[in-house]
Amino acid sequence: MPSPYRAIFGRPGTKSFSTAGLLGRMPLSMMGIGIVTMISQLTGRYGLAGALSATLALSAAVLGPQISRLVDRHGQSRVLRPATLVSIAAVAGLLLSAQQRWPDWTLFVFAACVGCVPSVGSMIRARWAEIYRGSPRELHTAYSWESIVDEMCFIFGPILSIGLSTAWFPEAGPLLAAVFLAVGVFWLTAQRATEPVPHPREQHAKGSALGSRGLQVLVVTFVATGAIFGAIDVVTVAFAEEVGHKAAASLVLAVYALGSCLAGAVFGLLHLKGHASRRWVVGVCVMAVSMVPLQLVGSLPLLAVALFVAGLSVAPTMVTTMALIEEHVPRSQLTEGMTWTSTGLAVGVALGSSAAGWVVDAAGAARGYLVPGAAGLLAALVAFAGYRRLRPQPTAPVAGPAAAGGLPGQGDPERQGEESVGA
């Protein structure tokens, strides 16, 4: 492991909570694609499969920020365990209703309840922020590491989920995802020493973290970005089935995550100057351009190459997003702020997977890649439109000794964020 990554694990407990976070985040890459694979195996209906995946994502989008707000107030250990138990019970109901061929509406009810799953990635990043607050370089490396962990989930998660559901029994992928969730969350919440200190209710009188204009830009852009991810998952499974190698879809999606993982590892070694908002807009635009080659592929090997190249822009953009969230959201609402970006992604995944499912049913898998292409274009347009909200604002000139002798820590928060991110 390169020395910057080795250095961040010098603090007690960091290895343990990061490993627990890896397990707890595996359902992020396994559950949605597992449901798509399970339903397509049992019914052959990609429209239904995509709609169920969308229902799960939308439910997580609605419930996730509320769970994280409770975490900011009451602590991770008190909130995450009951939320996880509800989600696991819903997974059991979903698998039973699918296996027993119950009416479609029961599938949607259970899929909506599965969305009670907590945002484990936000919980882990909040722990890193608590440990390395005031140390921007170490925090940049820690966020990069967690992006690598995210991509590790997306490398191995689809392989496990799709592979087990196609080779063993259709419900195997979502079932294993639920096991990972239970182990990861209960292990994480047992680690009290590194848990961020909860903030009293009165500190939240200012309302939701989504009141931040900068966070609003990030969330709306991530809706379009999530549509890219959701559509690629559904269309790639359908494309692989059309060419007669459905199980290979997991390997192709893993290559997509591998590109992001490698880029994230390199990005964590860099100490970039300048404000993070510029890097963020560039990253979103590169993600949009990388969708163009997908419209031209005609075989799985070419698709894997195109997705690997597309993945190179994902992790650096995500890492930069975390830096911008920390700048634009109050410390007492950091977990909620991080979860709102996950919510944007979840809404986008819901829209993208649903739209892709219907396009595949109507026009075939090759046409389905038009959906992530359109989503990438929309993400770039929103990023450009909202860039001014993310830029550091110039500090107003002050006059007189009284103004010059302000309290420590006063000044323009945007400029302070620039100094911390651009170190």
Q: Which two tokens stand for residue 150?
A: 């995210």
pLDDT, position 401: 41
3-state secondary structure of 297: coil
Which of 262-266, 383-387, 415-419 has the lowest average pLDDT?
415-419
More confident residue, 275 or 173: 173
Residue 138 confidence (pLDDT) above 80: yes
Mean pLDDT computed over 314-334: 80
- pLDDT tops 70 at residue 351: yes
Question: Which pLDDT score is estimated for 381?
Answer: 93
pLDDT per residue as tens digits for the range 356-389: 888 888 888 878 889 999 999 999 999 888 877 7
Least confident of 225-229, 233-237, 376-380: 233-237
Global confidence as pTM:
0.72
Residue extents of the structural domains in the chain: 13-193+211-391+415-421
User: What is the sign of the dihedral through the CA atoms of 404, 407, 413 and 419?
Assistant: positive
Instruction: Grade residue 274 by pLDDT with cuts at 50, 70 and 90.
Output: low
Give the single-character DSSP code of 394: P
Residue from 87, 98, 93 nearest 39 by CA: 98
Instruction: Write out pLDDT tens, residues 393-406.
Output: 554 344 444 333 33
User: Which of 269, 350, 391, 366 is closest to 59 using CA atoms?
Assistant: 350
Tally Cβ neighbours within 10 Å of residue 373.
18
Res 190 pLDDT > 80: yes
Query: Best-predicted range by mean pLDDT among 114-118, 269-273, 322-326, 408-412?
Result: 114-118
Higher pLDDT, 299 or 224: 224
User: How many Å apart are CA 278 and CA 4, to the nearest integer?
Assistant: 24
The answer to whether the beta carbons of residues 269 and 2 sit under 8 Å apart is: yes
User: Rounded to an integer, what distance in angstroms lies between the CA atom of residue 408 and that of residue 94?
Assistant: 54
Q: Which of 206-220, 279-293, 297-311, 405-419 has the lowest mean pLDDT?
A: 405-419
Round to whole Å and give the CA distance between 357 and 359. 6
pLDDT over 90, % of the chain: 19
CATH of 13-193+211-391+415-421, one of 1.20.1250.20, 3.30.360.10, 1.10.540.10, 3.30.70.890: 1.20.1250.20
State the average pLDDT over residues 202-222. Answer: 72
